Chain A
Amino acid sequence: MADLSINFAGIKSPNPFWLASAPPSNSGRQVHRAFEAGWGGAVWKTIGAPVLNVSNRYGAWHYGGQKMLAINNVELISDRPLEVNLREIKEVKRAWPDRAVIVSAMVESKPETWHDIIRQIQDTGADGIELNYGCPHGMSERGMGSAVGQVPEYCEQITGWVMEVAKIPVIVKLTPNISDIVMPARAAAAAGASAISLINTINSIIGIDLNTLEITPNIGGKGGHGGYAGPAVKPIALNMLAALGRDSVVSGSKLPISGMGGITTWGDAAEFLLLGASSLQVCTAVMHYGFRIVEDLCDGLSNWMDEKGFPKISEVVAKSLPRVSDFNNFDLSFRAVARIDQQKCVRCNLCYVACNDTAHQCIDLVAKDGSLVPPHSYDLRSNGKEHAIGTRASVRVREEDCVGCRLCYNVCPVEGCIEMLEEAPLQPSVTWKEISDSQRDVTEDWEKMQRYRDKMGIHIH
């Protein structure tokens, strides 16, 4: 059985799953129950400056009968008195010595204020500190949270203040509300942080109530941007995680990265590990289903690691990172075409309409006698299930015209029905970078491009 334990910048935990700093880790009682359920660690809901909260606080995006594909919130950092939080942190850590207790902090941007809070946290016996440079609402208006994370210089300066007094590992949490995630990460590294975590929530307006025309969530007739999180943000988080891994300065700093942003299943977790995260934080999925989900996060990840032959987490970390590249380096001669398994196909025709209306018009409807037929070609006087099913055309890809766009594969509702088959290349392997380095004019002039295509035998359908 795979060893799920981690040592993240010196913070040890029995598994890589930590509650992210958020409502689930708001109190000692909650964190206590989370640890009972099996969570490896918890990043305490941010403590620091005094605040007042509002209601309603959470909006959610539901789609296709599935609840909460994303959530957004305007809740602030902990509104419980600082002393209460500090006392409970101490109690929890004492009760759970093997679990990671990390405390998220955010105070006004003054060196002495930061020094005070860091010392107070360290006095609790906590294992680490996370600097909340990401909160996009409420705190940013007061010069904290993402107001810091969006300016690399502030990020570096404040992290520097923290490091002056820090005796335990310090994790800098980044906001995704920035053009280039690499910049604040470099700043954190330059200031001597112990680790990085990402992503915090994304600026968002979740929706509008079409009956009242009010913003969701409605706060006394008003509403505004809130932090967006949940399954829908995972691809954005994965991209930012990979961006840090691919940056020579950030990766050169060897800072471990705690990944978060939409982790809901063990599969999501594995993807974050594969792109370089070495601890994982979860919030929305817990807010949806409760602490119990950690069981399958661990169980599923462990089973997958056993199946793949990964004995421990560190062997999974960043395994797929070298595969992340960019368009310049993709092999232009690589060729895939769609093939439909006629046995599995249920004849929903979703691939047909997607290809025909919006892609490359290379899927045909084929009647029982082999002839091509247009859609809606049945006799209006025919009806009944036998006739409808018995005369229904099948879908067939004209492989010679298929550009391998993979849209049909994505819309097909049947598992394993459409396969993207790798075909032998028709041209020698070449990348865009190689072409632009050696024949720049081809990349700048349509006529020369056409001559290049003719020479290489590239036909665009």
Chain B
Amino acid sequence: MAETSQGILRAAALSELLPPLTAHEAAVESARCLMCYDAPCTHACPTHIDIPKFIKKIASRNLRGSARTIFESNLLGATCARVCPVQELCEGACVLGAEHKPIAIGRLQRYAMDFAYDEGWMPFSPPRSTGKKVAVVGAGPAGLSCAGELAKRGHHVTLFEKRDMGGGLSTYGIIGLREPVEVALAEVAMLAKLGIRIEAGKELGTNLALAELQKDFHAVFLGVGLGVTTTLGIPGEEYILDGLEYIEQSKLNLHTLIVGKNVVVIGAGNTAIDCATIAKRLRADLVTMVYRRSEKEMTAYAHEYEFIKREGVRFSFLTQPVAVRVDHGKVTALKCVGMSLGSLDASGRPAPQPLPGSEFELPADQIVKATGQEKPSLASVLKLRTAKGFIETSDQFETSLTGVYAGGDCIRARGAASTVMAVQDGKLAARSIHERLVAHG
């Protein structure tokens, strides 16, 4: 009994942070939108959703029309409504933001999407078949978006996914407090209704060969994402938990997730923040985020940083982990060295350098690393041309192999990778593929 109620409390601690807008809140907020012409929010959105249009449809109580407007530009509108860094995108560009409060675009989008999913309504139905077959590898945001856009145009799409479930990071790698698993899976199910065939447990290079895909399909899209979490190369690393697995466990196997009393999270990106949030919300006494550069260079969004500070997480900036201290088979501390920032490195940020004699220990009984993912290893396996380790593509999202396209995190050599960028890649790649398939009769 105690076990069960404990489980409910833990699940509640990680349940979706923002409540849905009520009908009244949505009416008031949508009425507040000025309906800018050629609106900056639409420009700022990587998928260029016609935002004033969908918001004013909420105001006029045409919720189907509102959902359709979103879907037309972004098939993963339900995910994006939750995980988009709206402060940097649409809401950041809202003309009411400067002297007032920007329109809550993300939450209004969620309102329209919730309506569509609650009704089980989808504006598109599979059109007449073109007879063309496309293989999409990876059922993350890029792959789903590409597959959906192609299916909308009547192509036969087979979506190969190495994991059991689709959704990619939306399902496995984003804290449930921002996107519950159910939302990501509902999106996959909705896209499947467009006639997409999903083959789970198929991994390129393991039980799936690119050459065969090229032979069996008219085109291939790779939305394979990135590799495993980077290696720190420090003694005792085997005692450090993987951040993405930590999040995955909190979403799919919460009852098995053991959270330490004194947790150190290595890294200062959005995944690291998710890990710290999980630890803090599941009752760790102390959570410390360790980052080798300073506050200014951290890659997490500003609003995420604000959020995690309010959660009560501590920071140790300019701190480089050097070893894990293990006593009697248990983690007791993270050995660190203080850093100073030198001249700019290849990433354009000041390079951190160890300060001699500044070694210290951060006591910890659990250490989690979220220091970014390895570049896509598939690129070299598949002999694709790369740019800075990422798969290189043309403006049409075509790789160095004719008829093989790619998008999402695996091509994101420049700029911040995000779900919505991946969705746009998938959408634009689908357009290129469609043009190619149509042009080739």
Contacts and interface: CB of A to CB of B under 8 A. Distances in A.
Contact of B28 (A65, A384, A389, A392): A65
A403 interface: no
Nearest to A348: B36
Contacts of A352: 37
A392 B39 CA distance: 9
B38 A64 contact: no
Interface stretch (B85-93, B183-191, B237-245): B85-93
A223 to B, nearest CB: 21
B48 interface: yes
A359 B99 CA distance: 29
A346 B38 contact: no
B32 interface: yes
A385 interface: yes
Contacts, number: 69
A349 interface: yes
Contacts of A348: 34, 36-37, 39, 95
B28 A347 contact: no
Interface stretch (A15-23, A37-45, A374-382, A448-456): A374-382
Given A65-B31, A385-B93, A349 B36 contact: yes
Interface residues of A, number: 23
B165 interface: no
Contact of B34 (A375, A378, A413): A413
Contacts of A384: 44, 46, 88-89, 92
A388 interface: yes
Given A346-B95, A346-B98, A389-B93, A383 B46 contact: yes
Contacts of A382: 43
Contact of B43 (A346, A353, A388, A413): A388
Contacts of A353: 37
Given A64-B59, A346-B96, A385 B88 contact: yes
Contacts of A387: 43-44
Contacts of B89: 383-385
A51 interface: no
B41 A388 contact: yes
A287 interface: no
B177 interface: no
Contacts of B92: 384-385
A95 interface: no
Contacts of A349: 36-39
A392 B45 contact: no
B contact residues, range? 20 to 34
A65 B32 contact: yes
Interface in A369-411: 375-376, 378, 380, 382-385, 387-389, 392
Nearest to A380: B48
Nearest to A353: B37
Contacts of A165: none
Given A346-B98, A383-B89, A65 B46 contact: no
Nearest to A413: B34
Given A383-B89, A385-B93, A347 B45 contact: no
Nearest to B98: A346
Nearest to A346: B95
A346 B40 CA distance: 10
A380 B46 CA distance: 8
A350 interface: yes
Contact of B38 (A65, A66, A375, A380): A375
A373 B99 CA distance: 27
A378 B37 contact: no
Interface in A351-366: 352-353
A156 B297 CA distance: 85
Most-contacted residue by chain B among A350, A388, A389, A413 (CB, 10 A): A388
A383 B43 contact: yes
Nearest to A66: B31
A341 B48 CA distance: 29
Nearest to B41: A388
Contacts of B286: none
Contacts of B41: 388
A389 B98 CA distance: 11
A141 B315 CA distance: 79
B116 to A, nearest CB: 20
Given A376-B38, A378-B43, A383-B43, A347 B31 contact: no
Interface in B13-53: 27-28, 30-32, 34-41, 43-46, 48
Interface of A: 64-66, 346-350, 352-353, 375-376, 378, 380, 382-385, 387-389, 392, 413
Given A376-B38, A383-B424, 10 more contacts: A348-B95, A350-B34, A350-B36, A353-B37, A384-B88, A385-B87, A385-B89, A388-B41, A388-B43, A389-B44
9 contacts: A64-B59, A346-B98, A346-B99, A347-B95, A349-B37, A383-B45, A383-B46, A388-B40, A413-B34
* 4 interchain residue pairs of minimum CB distance: A385-B92, A65-B31, A388-B44, A349-B37
